A and B are shown apart, each in its own frame.
Chain A
Amino acid sequence: MTTLLTRKKDRIDELAEHGDSLSRDAFRRLSRNPVAILGAVIVLLFVLVAIFAPLLAPKDPYFRYLIDEVRQNSPLPARPGFPLGADQNGRDVLSRLIVGARQSLIVGVLATVAGLVFGMLIGGVAGALGGWVDTLLMRFVDILLSVPSLLLAISIAAVFKSANQWTVIAAVAIVSVPIFARLLRGAMLAQRHADHVLAARALGVHERSIVLRHMLPNSLSAVIVQATLTLATSIIDAAALSFLGLGDADPNRAEWGAMLGDAQTYFDIQPSLAIWPALCIIVVALGFTLFGESLREALDPKNRR
């Protein structure tokens, strides 16, 4: 009996020492998961490449070095100085891929943040207030959701007269708004009937702090995970828009989706031209997805002790 009690106390002390904050707790679990580490390494590499792109790119991504040769011979395979070959305009593929990472990161992050902000605003208000406000906002969100996401992004991008990277960001962001809105609303509604919210009410806590301190923080983990996953889909969606010619109108811009689109024409002659940007998109999207899924596991309160 006594030993049991002391053992239990030891266990409590040990637990208390290991995890004194929730984020540290989640981090500890993430760092033990090889899948999470793989995802994190990919994401980190991608971000570093994107940030230092101008320093890392061996050549000017916009200069048509081999334009004369390309004119006779279409895109060129790898050769000294051009490790991944040159595209139809004689530009260095490697340098364009590196600079394209920056473009993808900017579009992906800005679109996700914009979608997150507006989605959380809509979902948070709907979940906190309920009633007709909730009904109204959610019907609006339903309309957005009823259109397939890529189709919605295409139609939004098509609405803008002159396409540039901002129109791409807007189109991709609007697609993710309903996802965040529904997620946060659902989590908030579930919280509304949670025991600890009832307990807070029983303590006379103000409705405002019940929403901001009890309901919202407990609803965030799902949103954080979704944001990581949305980064992946945003990058893919942005690439898809460029691929379809709805991206930045500037033909010089190094962008993975646009590179992939241009490569179609030369696919039978020089398939590597399509393979490299496609691989970049896949690997980066995979990195975010792996990391997001492991984050979901790490933040799941069911796995917490």
Chain B
Amino acid sequence: MALLEVKDLTVTFGRRGEKPVRAVDGVNFSVEPGQTVGLVGESGCGKSVTSLAIMGLLPKRGVQVGGSATFEDVDLLQLPASQMRDRRGRDIGMVFQDPLSSLNPVIPIGKQVTEVLERHRGMHKGEARAEAVELLTAVGIPDPQRRLKDYPHHLSGGMRQRALIAIALACRPRLLIADEPTTALDVTVQAQILALLERLVDEVGSALILITHDLGVVAGLCDTVNVLYAGKVVENTDRYRLFAQPRHPYTAGLLGSVPRLDAPRGQALTPIRGSVADALPWSEGCAFAPRCDNKIDQCTAQTPALEPDAESRRLLRCFNPVETPAAVEEVAR
């Protein structure tokens, strides 16, 4: 049974005097216990909004959330605010993109760790302090005893993200949502943080939803991947199949635009034409059609459904998928 089952999740932002915007448009995916699931897509495709909707962290005013997010038999979207608050941080943890702004600048690191422990695990001060030292040690912060008294601005970016991960994992949540956890960090630190996430999620036994636009991160960490475009999942498969044989033209385009060290010198990257702003609403055919090289007449006449593609073992939302993907021989190695 799935730990988290997201069904037909829609999020609509109402704007005064303008047409409402549907940021998430019927997203379906599930997360098994201990699994790592990637949500991939470019900026504005609805990745972060999906995670905030699951956490119940979207503003109440002007936002409509539909569908369901069933976490251990309970629909999180229907939970009263107080019960949802009890689950946040305890059952579901979250790591945000910007490690500096996500820590409270006027509270010492130690206090921010113990706050969660006192809140959710009912620890008293001394206990929480000891546990905080252990947590900071576990995420690789040297000399944690002294670090407890430090303020966020005393730490480097990587250290801050480590602290945030310690806080998010303090209550051993069964699900951790990491929203672009490495985007604000430099490349060497990125690798350390990803390795840390992978190890801890494994130790704690949490499932992980990894939100990213970085396919390199996906390749290293995710068991299954959901590719999002304009608020809908367009392709869902495991990471090996995704990289070896992308079927959706959008996925293929994303892979084709990744710089590679083993590419011949001077070879230009293949960008995807246009930008997300060109996306159609899904009601008028495939949203990706204006940017798609594989477009056929059916694409603008009818909206494709997310259907199992038996042959390539995945879910796919496309009338004319890529048959012989350019990347296949390179990745198959």
By a beta-carbon cutoff of 8 Å, the part of chain A in contact with chain B is 8-9, 12, 15-16, 19-22, 194-196, 198-206, 213-214, 217-218, 301, 304-305
Contact B103 A204 (CB under 8 A): no
- Chain A residues contacting B124 (CB-CB under 8 Å) are none
Query: Given A213-B107, A217-B106, A218-B105, A202 and B154 touching (CB < 8 A)?
Result: no
Q: Name the A residues within 8 Å of B98 (CB-CB).
A: 195
Contact A205 B102 (CB under 8 A): no
A198 touches B57 (CB 8 A): yes
How far, in angstroms, from A20 to B153 measured CA to CA in the complex? Answer: 11
Query: Of A8, A20, A202, which one neighbours B94 at CB under 8 angstroms?
Result: A202
By Cβ-Cβ distance, the 9 closest A-B pairs, closest first, are: A203-B89, A204-B88, A195-B101, A204-B89, A202-B94, A199-B102, A217-B106, A196-B104, A195-B102
Residue pair B105, A203 in contact (C-beta under 8 Å): no
Within the complex, the shortest CB–CB distance from A111 to chain B, in Å, comes to: 28
A interface footprint on B153-169 (CB within 8 Å = 1, 0 otherwise): 11110010000100110
> Is the Cβ of B156 less than 8 Å from the Cβ of A8?
yes
Q: Given A22-B151, A198-B96, A203 and B104 touching (CB < 8 A)?
A: no
Given the contacts A199-B96, A203-B116, A203-B119, A218 and B106 also touching, CB distance less than 8 Å: yes
- Also in contact, A12 and B119, with CB within 8 A (given A202-B89, A204-B88, A214-B104): no
Interface bin, chain B? 35 or more
Interface residues of B in 143-180 (CB under 8 A from A): 146-147, 149-151, 153-156, 159, 164, 167-168
CB distance from B244 to the nearest CB of A (A): 34
Q: By the criterion CB–CB under 8 Å, are A22 and B150 in contact? A: no
Pick the contact of B103 from A16, A22, A199, A217 — CB < 8 Å?
A: A199
CA distance A9 to B155 in the complex (A): 10
Q: Which of A8, A22, A196, A201 has the most CB of B within 10 A?
A: A196
The residue among B55, B153, B154 with the most chain A CB atoms within 10 A of its own CB is B154
Bound form: Cα–Cα A213–B88 in Å: 18
Check: B42 CB closer than 8 A to any chain A CB.
no
Which residues of B36-56 are within 8 A (CB) of A? 55
Give the Cβ gap from A106 to chain B, nearest Cβ, in Å.
Answer: 32
Q: Which residues of B contact A214 (CB under 8 A)?
A: 104, 107
B134 contacts the other chain (Cβ, under 8 Å)?
no
Q: Determine if B85 and A206 form an interchain contact, defined as CB atoms under 8 angstroms apart.
A: yes
30 contacts between A and B (CB under 8 A): A12-B154, A12-B155, A12-B156, A19-B151, A19-B154, A22-B106, A196-B105, A198-B57, A198-B96, A198-B102, A200-B104, A201-B88, A202-B57, A202-B89, A202-B94, A203-B88, A203-B89, A203-B115, A203-B119, A204-B86, A204-B87, A204-B120, A205-B89, A205-B115, A206-B119, A213-B107, A217-B107, A218-B105, A301-B105, A304-B153
Q: Which residues of B contact A205 (CB under 8 A)?
A: 85, 89, 115, 119
Report how far A301 CA is from B104 CA in the complex, Å: 12
B90, CB-defined interface residue at 8 Å: yes
Contact B119–A16 (Cβ < 8 Å)? no
Within the complex, the shortest CB–CB distance from A167 to chain B, in Å, comes to 38
Nearest CB of B to A204, in Å = 4
Looking at the assembled complex, report how far the CB atom of A17 sits from the nearest CB atom of chain B, in whole angstroms. Answer: 9
Q: Which of A196, A198, A204, A301 gathers the greatest number of chain B CB atoms within 10 Å?
A: A204
Q: Can you add 15 more A-B contacts, CB < 8 Å, to A12-B155, A199-B164?
A: A8-B156, A9-B142, A15-B154, A16-B154, A196-B104, A196-B105, A199-B102, A203-B89, A203-B168, A204-B120, A205-B85, A206-B119, A217-B104, A217-B106, A218-B105
Residues of A near B107 (CB, < 8 A) are 213-214, 217
- Which residues of A have CB within 8 Å of B147? 16
Measured CB to CB, the closest approach of chain B to A15, in angstroms, equals 5
- Which A residues touch B57, using CB under 8 A? 198, 201-202
Closest to A195 in B: B101
Question: Which residue in A19, A196, A206, A304 is a CB contact (below 8 Å) of B102?
Answer: A196
Contact mask for chain B residues 128-151; partner A; CB cutoff 8 A; 1 contact, 0 none: 000000000000001000110111
